[in-house]
Structure 1
């Protein structure tokens, strides 16, 4: 897949998304914490 102009590649998009997601912990509707990548423990 070619990188056209200034459009980010799929890999770059994924890396950007991962870098944002990795900063958060999400709680499921059952109250359990879903850990994605690196997730700091809550005190």
Structure 2
């Protein structure tokens, strides 16, 4: 019985583009900033 030939496991796939964390910050940061700036001031 012949043994199967050894193959290296595939390398880590490098994703191009924006990571989920960066995308989330990019979307939420301006909204949070706008709410902070535009909220009515209490006297």
TM-score normalized with structure 1 length? 0.42
Higher relative contact order (CA 8 A, sep 6+): 1
More strand by share: 1
Which entry has the higher C-alpha Rg, 1 or 2?
2
More helix by share: 2
